[in-house]
A and B are shown apart, each in its own frame.
Chain A
Amino acid sequence: MNPQEPPHARPEQQFFEDPAIDRLMGTVMALATEVFVLQSRLRALEDRLGEGGVVDVANLRADSEDQAQQAAEAKAYSEHLLRPLLGLQDALGPTD
């Protein structure tokens, strides 16, 4: 066990034949989360700039987006991000 890990840490479950894919997926999804957080922040900033006012960072971070809009964007973003996992063609092509 890595001495930096808490004493209760147990080996993570493995889903792919190569455990490297399991771990890399974790990194990919963590990055994807960060991208969505950044997108949300950027959109909030754009909204404020669009309103023509002076941007106040504290206010910018305190205000959350409209929940319904955010949920719809999260759904579309997730489909865009995860659709490749299905392994399906977008356009009809050769099957072998």
Chain B
Amino acid sequence: MHESDFAAAQAFLLGAKNFWTTNLYRELRYKYDRRIDKRDAESLTPDEAVAELEGDVTYHFFGWLERHLQRMKYTSRYGVIPYHSERRDTLTQEAGFSLQDEYAPVLNPGLELPKYYKSIDIHQHQGGLWSEITAGFAYEYGARTTTPLLGETHEDLHKRFTEYVADGVDFKRILDLGCGFGKSTRPFLKQFPTSAVHAVDLSAPCLHVASQFARKNSTRNVRYSQQDARGTNFDDESFDLVTSTMLLHELPVKSVLQLFEECYRLLQHGGRMAHLDFYILPDAFDRLMHYGHSKRNNEIFMRGVSELDLPGVLGKIGFIDIKIERFQEGVDVDLDAHEAWRFPWTAISAVKPRRAAA
């Protein structure tokens, strides 16, 4: 596959996704609003919302394009999977995958990957993020166009979340769960350059790419390791901040609960947990879009997480100062405008109580 053909095909798919994100979404929302204007939009279930659009051709095309533009991006003739597979040897060599230096990730070849992780090709990423050594490169490329209106690196999103979490606190020991190829970790490294940062993920291919970034930037205050976020090998009370970005919705509900328990164990008393994910869905149309995306994009656990009683769950574990807030992912984003498709970004944070004075 020629570079220029790959670039042209991916540019077209991105252009098509832009059309889907804006023109098609707006038309669908307009039609939906017209149909339900005499009913209580807040109380509709997703199934009732679907019924409103059942038989609507625009809705059919919306769903088709959501699923198949992603399929084409990944596995078509010009997809990111074949593109990176063809370049396997060059990519892994240039990235220093064989190096065992201070930047190399700590891998655990004996780690048993969870069944949920292997049973579905998440995001329609053929073979998942674990079965092919170039999967990290493919994911890094694919993630650039996940939400086209946010730009290639989603820099604004991650920077805004890091600043939201920091909120004037100088965290010293930080853990990023489900770090992938390090996109969520790097803003924390920048925000806290003298802190000790650990980042874990199940995917060895992604951790290699994350380490490549660290090596390239001579970033020495981070250690990437292959671990299951639901049960890591860190000691109790090892961190004053435990965070994740876009991880919770990729886990079954039972695993989410295990993860929160693990966060509590890992936090020092007075430490903070903060997750950026998808949770608050203001109306039935938002629920329809989110649950539909869940199925169409092979992210099948989204609905379960969205329907969790998070304040209740976190309170039961022992967390206090629980905050669950809609998150504005970009400076120009109007959360209520419905001008373009967007994820229901939500910041979820809580604190492990300080020890009571003796």
Binding site for B on A (CB under 8 A): 13, 15-17, 21-22, 25-26, 29-30, 32-33, 36-37, 39-41, 44, 61-65, 67, 70-71, 73-79, 81-83, 85-88
Q: Which of A32, A62, A70, A85 contacts B3 (CB 8 A)?
A: A62
**Pair A64/B3 contact, Cβ less than 8 Å:** yes
Interface residue? B76 (CB, 8 A) = yes
For chain B, what secondary structure do more than half of its interface residues adopt (helix, strand, loop), or is it mixed? Answer: helix
**A33-B9, A33-B12, A36-B11 given. 19 additional CB < 8 A pairs?**
A13-B67, A29-B16, A30-B76, A33-B13, A33-B72, A33-B76, A37-B8, A40-B4, A64-B4, A65-B7, A67-B7, A67-B11, A71-B15, A74-B11, A77-B12, A82-B23, A83-B23, A85-B65, A86-B24
| CB contacts between A and B, total, < 8 Å | 115
Q: Which residues of B contact A39 (CB under 8 A)?
A: 8
- Shortest CB-to-CB span from B55 to chain A, Å, is 8
**Pair A16/B18 contact, Cβ less than 8 Å:** no
**Pair B27/A86 contact, Cβ less than 8 Å:** yes
Q: How many B residues touch A, CB cutoff 8 Å?
A: 36
- Shortest CB-to-CB span from B158 to chain A, Å, is 22
**Alpha-carbon separation in the docked complex, A76 to B11 (Å):** 11
- Shortest CB-to-CB span from B146 to chain A, Å, is 16
**Alpha-carbon separation in the docked complex, A85 to B60 (Å):** 10
Q: Which residues of A contact B2 (CB under 8 A)?
A: 61-62
Interface residue? B5 (CB, 8 A) = yes
Q: Which of A37, A62, A70, A85 contacts B24 (CB 8 A)?
A: A85
- Shortest CB-to-CB span from B183 to chain A, Å, is 20
**Pair A85/B7 contact, Cβ less than 8 Å:** no
**Alpha-carbon separation in the docked complex, A21 to B3 (Å):** 32
**Pair A37/B72 contact, Cβ less than 8 Å:** no
Q: Which of A26, A36, A63 contacts B12 (CB 8 A)?
A: A36
Q: Which of B14, B64, B296 contacts A71 (CB 8 A)?
A: B14
Residue on A nearest B28 in the bound complex, by CB: A86
